[in-house]
Structures are given as C-alpha cells and as structure tokens.
Structure 1
Amino acid sequence: MSDTPYEGGVELVIFDLDGVLVDVQHAENAALAHLAGLMGLRLTAAESTALFSGRKLQECIDLIEDRSHTGPPEDAVRIVRETCERLIGPSLEPIAGVREALAGIDAIKCVASNSPPDIIRHRLGAAGIHGQFGARVYSAYDIDAWKPDPTLFLWAADDLGAAPERTVVVEDSAVGVAAALSAGMRVLHFCAENSGPHDTAVPTFSSMHMLPELIGRTG
C-alpha cells in the first residue's frame, strides 16, 4: 500500500454490498419470506428483516427450517435467488449518495460481502459503481467464512496491506457490525429505513452524503 497518509489515519474502507451500496436487502428478505411461506411459516416484513439481514443464504434457509419444522424444497436456493432477481427487476440504483460518498473518500475502498462473487460483481456493475472497486471485491464464498465471523474483513485488509485498526467498515446489518468489531476494526453503521437491530454503542448515520466526513473523524 502507498505510504501516502489518509485523512484521519484511515488506510482502508470496507463496504458491505446489500443495504450499503445497493438497496436489494428488501428483495432478498422478501424472497426468503416467500420460501418461508412455502414451508408453512408466515413472516412479517419486520420479522424477515430482523431474521435474515446480512446472513448467509443457507443459514437463512436453516433458520426457516428450524422455525417451521419443515424441510426445505431441494431447489430452495434457486427459488430464493430467482424470486429475488424478479423482485429487483431489470434496473438497479445505488443507494442515494453512494456515488458522491465514494468519490469523496481518498482511502483505498473495497467490498466484502456474504454474497457469492458473481452476484457482487453483477450488482456493482448494474449500479454503475464497479469502477470504484476494480478487483477489490471479497466474497465469503471464496474463503468459506461468513459474517459474523471476522475472517472476511481480516482477509480483505491483509490482502490490501491495511492494519485492522486503520480500517473502517461500513455496514448495515447486526452480523456485519459484529464481524467488524471482532476484527478489531472501526465500524460505521448505516441505518437507513428498514435496517435491522444494531449495537447502540456503534456510531450510526442515515445518509451516505455524511460518510466522507464521518470517516475523516474516525482517526
């Protein structure tokens, strides 16, 4: 990594994908709620958000099985993914203020997500922000370690030569916040509408336009 000092001593900013850069968490949660309905378990939107946000897909399916006491269909993963893509539709916009926030951050930026690598790249491309990250895309599927395990964040930081204590993670889910804290990293919790429960001791913000200034304060 370059020896150039970054504002506030921050070397690396790690972004979650869904709910932070692009707004598809609602579609994923609704797709999982659809699967739950097929398995005899009815969930409200609030219950789906609290139960599924930020988790690995298979873990979500297992949670549905535990609560419904019904085995999932063999093609459960396909059902969820196809339902999600149908709900998202043909176009995908980044969350309001994301483009400006990314342009205003001088530190190295990467994405670290529980989603599969092809989905991460597709959604970044569909939202027109892939160029802000290039090859700096890290998927839990590549290392078989999903948040709240901190391994994903630690892998990204190590690969990019950044110290954990000089890394800031931008997350919207409780499992992502937990992973960042376990990794010894500073974390900013994006709490837009429909965000799930969070650690009230973690700094929160509600507009991406605020992010560059907040990162500058973390040093």
Structure 2
Amino acid sequence: MSEPLVIFDLDGVLVDTQHAENGGLAAVGALMGLTLTAERADELFSGKKMQECIDLMAELAGVEPPPDAIPLARAACEELIGDRLDPIDGVRTALAGLADAGIPMCVASNSPRELIAGRLDAAGIRPYFGERLFSAYDVDAWKPDPRLFLRAAESCGTAPEWCVVVEDSVVGVDAALAAEMTVVQYAADPAQGPHRAGVRVLTRMDAVPEAVRAHRPTRTPDELRRVEGAA
C-alpha cells in the first residue's frame, strides 16, 4: 500500500461524547454515594473501559456498584447526548480531504461496535468508514493495550509503520506508541494534557490531512515485503 491508513478514535476525536459518557458514569457514582465534578470525572474516566470506571468508583466509594451499572450509565449518557450528535469542528473537512486523496480510514474505539456505528450514523459521517469499524470488545483488549490498533491495521492490510493514529486520550496515544504506529494527539486546548514527548499535538481536526501527508514510514512497502519474505 502506497498510502498510510488513518485510524481514528471515536469519542473526543470524531464526535464529542466524552463529557456525556463521563456524566453517565458520574450519575451511577451518585447512586454509590460519590459526588464527582466534571473535571474529576474527566480525570478518572477519559479513555477508559466503562467497567474499569465502575470498578474504580466502587473502590473509591467502598460499596458495590448497582448490578445494572453499565446499562444505567449508557442510558444516562444517551439522555445527555439527546437526539442530535455533531462531529467535532473540522472533522468533515478532514474526512473529505483524506477521501479525496484516496487515503483509507477506519475507526478503532474502546466502545462496543454497535455504539460506534450508531454514533457515526447520527453524526452523518459513517460513509467515510463503511464497515471498517473496530471495537476493543471484538479483540478483548482495551487501550492502552495495542492489540486493537494492530487488529485494525491487519484487517485493512496495512503494516503498522504505515498507520497514522488520531487520538485524544493519553491511553490511546500509549496504545498507538506500543503498536509502533505514528500518532497525533488532538487537543483543542493544548494546555490540557497529558501529552507524550515527541507526539505531535493538533489543535484543529482539519489539520489531520496535512499531518498524514507529512508521514513518511522508515521503510517502503517493497522493503517491508522483502523483509517479510525473508522471515
């Protein structure tokens, strides 16, 4: 493949639902006696698996979570999102630019696949990805584990060196680095970290195509095939 594969995270990169997810989790936390500010919820939950977040709240509260904690959190999240879901500013421009250049794209998220598809549909950007949607639930591995990104690359027929990951959370950045992929971190406010040394930070999503064009793997596809053939 002569062009890189662009792997997008979902929440906080393509659509802005992280605050709603955090709010849904905080609502479950309230049932457990926890009072969490928006800032504290973001610190505790951003980029993490939902069950991990609920286990963390149980540890903080010293009580068992409700048996239906995950459905309760998801229902509260959907209520906060409402009927309309807009892409993050600049996303439509970025996706159109990549598509016009013939650069393939996919989504790899810690969320369940049906949730990924639903949110892309609601935002009107699903056609850019088709069925190239990858969920941590499918590989039973959640970021910062690199296996989700590696599965996405393998399924799309692209070597890790040719992948560019677009992430917002540090756990996602760490997963991409562990997969030995190039990663750019989207942060509308670059003062809000953490950021990893050497990782490029983008303050606008419409800057993604330029960042992808600047990507140059250390080995060409022919070189990679020769190495694989010699193995």
TM-score by length of 1: 0.93
1:99 aligns with 2:92: yes
Give the C-alpha shift of residue 197 in structure 1.
2.8
Distance 1:197 1:81 in 2: 27
Gaps of 5+ in 1: none
Distance 2:90 2:120 in 1: 15
Which of 200, 210, 215 lines up with 1:213 in the alignment? 210
Which of 73, 78, 81 lines up with 1:80 in the alignment? 73
Letter in 1 for 2:46: S
Instruction: Report the equivalent of 2:201.
Output: 204
Instruction: Report the equivalent of 1:33.
Output: 26
Distance 1:118 1:207 in 2: 27
Which of 115, 121, 125 lines up with 1:119 in the alignment? 115
| Sequence identity percentage | 55
1:137 aligns with 2:133: yes
| 8 Å CA contact retained: 1:49, 1:196 | no
* 1:140-179 aligned within 5 A: 140-179=136-175
Give the C-alpha shift of residue 80 in structure 1.
0.2
Distance 1:195 1:20, change over 3 A: farther
| 8 Å CA contact retained: 1:50, 1:196 | no
Moved more, 83-92 or 63-72: 63-72
Distance 2:43 2:182 in 1: 23
Distance 1:41 1:198, change over 3 A: farther
Q: Deviations over 1:104-127 (max 9, x none)?
A: 113210000000011000000000
Root-mean-square deviation (CA, aligned residues, Å) is: 1.4
Q: 3-state SS of the aligned residue for 2:78?
A: helix
Distance 1:196 1:122 in 2: 29
Q: 3-state SS of the aligned residue for 2:34?
A: coil
Give the C-alpha shift of residue 205 in structure 1.
0.8
Distance 2:157 2:192 in 1: 31
**Higher RCO (C-alpha 8 Å, min separation 6):** 1
Q: Across the two proteins, how many residue pairs are aligned to each other?
A: 212
Give the C-alpha shift of residue 198 in structure 1.
3.0
TM-score by length of 2: 0.88
Instruction: Report the equivalent of 2:222.
Output: none
Q: Deviations over 1:146-175 (max 9, x none)?
A: 111100000000111111111000001111
| 8 Å CA contact retained: 1:31, 1:83 | yes
Distance 1:164 1:195 in 2: 28
Q: Deviations over 1:170-199 (max 9, x none)?
A: 001111011000000010000125965332
Give the C-alpha shift of residue 31 in structure 1.
1.1
| 8 Å CA contact retained: 1:49, 1:195 | no
Instruction: Specify the structure having the higher radius of gyration (Cα).
Output: 2
* 1:9-24 aligned within 5 A: 11-24=4-17
Q: 3-state SS of the aligned residue for 1:104?
A: helix
Which of 31, 36, 42 lines up with 2:35 in the alignment? 42
